[in-house]
């Protein structure tokens, strides 16, 4: 694990960035790398909350289900994001890999002890939690007030930024592979798949993006895309 930590592509972006090399060496003794195949579940809603983890590579979805079994995607996790819920006995969400992925996994009890021992780690987790709360409030604005075009443009802006920031292998410059199907994008944005497809076609026709394949998006004019995310 120490070698894996030194070679980790998200070492300076994940929670571990708050630790010294000596502190990281102590924490890494309880950690292990886990490779996750696309479609594999790592946490099930309602199950005992056993692990905490840093996302090293890949993209995950957080989802919940209605009483009649309909899935609702409530969040996405990218490289350098934190997965799990310290101090909670069970999980509220199911976590599935949208791509082949890699995690740095710790037993929950051991990670809770690290939070107790290392003030910097606890402070950074609190900061990340508050940032996530802000992001959730922004997402409520997107779902409740933005038009369909603004929603799709906002989604592409966020996706391209997060994949590039996380150094995900699916991202190259201004082009990235969409880890969700258009049906899943529609689910996330509260739109129909027809509306999502229509808005992407409009952005392509306007010269803002290109769609080389059904899953790849190339941003051609980022300022124009950002402008459309704010007002259609």
State the CATH architecture for 2-139.
Answer: Sandwich (2.60)
Average pLDDT taken over every residue of the chain: 87
Q: How far is CA 164 from the centre of its chain?
A: 12
* Average pLDDT rounded to a whole number, residues 53-69: 89
Higher pLDDT, 171 or 229: 229
pLDDT at 77 (0 to 100) = 92
The answer to whether the CB of 97 falls within 8 A of the CB of 36 is: yes
Task: Give CA angle at 178 (176, 179), nearest 5°.
Answer: 125
pLDDT grade for 44, boundaries at 50, 70 and 90: very high
Of 9-18, 71-80, 112-121, 210-219, which gets the smallest average pLDDT?
Answer: 9-18
The answer to whether the CB of 217 falls within 8 A of the CB of 175 is: yes
- Domain covering 147-230 assigned CATH 1.10.10.10 in the classification: yes
> Domain residue spans in the chain?
2-139, 147-230
- Give the pLDDT confidence of 180-227 residue by residue, as tens digits: 899 999 988 989 999 999 999 999 999 999 999 888 999 999 999 999
d(CA 164, CA 175): 9
d(CA 185, CA 193): 8
DSSP state letters, the chain = -HHHHHT-TTTTTSGGGGS-HHHHHHHHTT-EEEEE-TT-EEE-TTSB--EEEEEEES-EEEEEE-TTS-EEEEEEE-TT-EEE-TT-SB-SSEEEESSSEEEEEEEHHHHHHHHHH-HHHHHHHHHHHHHHHHHHHHHHHHHHH--HHHHHHHHHHHHHHHHHHTT-TTEETTEEE-SS-HHHHHHHHT--HHHHHHHHHHHHHTTSEE-SSSSEEEES-HHHHHHHHH--
Q: In angstroms, what CA-CA distances link 37 with 34, 59, 80?
A: 10, 11, 18
d(CA 178, CA 76): 12
pLDDT at 166 (0 to 100) = 44
* Average pLDDT rounded to a whole number, residues 135-156: 86
């Amino acid at each position: 694990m120490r070698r894996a930590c030194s070679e980790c592509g998200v070492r300076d972006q994940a929670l571990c960035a708050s630790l010294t090399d000596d502190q990281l060496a102590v924490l890494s003794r309880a950690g292990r790398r886990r490779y996750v195949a696309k479609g594999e579940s790592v946490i099930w809603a309602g199950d005992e909350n056993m692990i905490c983890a840093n996302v090293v590579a890949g993209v995950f979805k957080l989802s919940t289900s209605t009483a009649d079994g309909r899935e609702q995607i409530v969040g996405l996790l990218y490289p350098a994001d934190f997965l799990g819920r310290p101090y909670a006995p069970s999980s509220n969400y199911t976590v599935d890999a949208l791509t082949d992925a890699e995690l740095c996994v710790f037993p929950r009890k051991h990670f809770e002890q690290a939070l107790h021992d290392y003030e910097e780690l606890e402070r950074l987790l609190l900061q990340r939690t508050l940032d996530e709360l802000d992001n959730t409030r922004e997402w409520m604005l997107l779902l409740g007030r933005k038009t369909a075009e603004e929603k799709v443009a906002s989604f592409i802006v966020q996706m391209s930024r997060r994949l590039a920031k996380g150094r995900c292998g699916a991202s190259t410059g201004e082009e990235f592979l969409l880890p969700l199907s258009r049906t899943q994008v529609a689910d996330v944005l509260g739109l129909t798949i027809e509306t999502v497809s229509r808005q992407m076609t409009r952005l392509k026709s306007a010269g803002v993006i290109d769609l080389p394949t059904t899953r790849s998006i190339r941003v051609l004019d980022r300022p124009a895309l950002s402008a459309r995310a704010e007002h259609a």
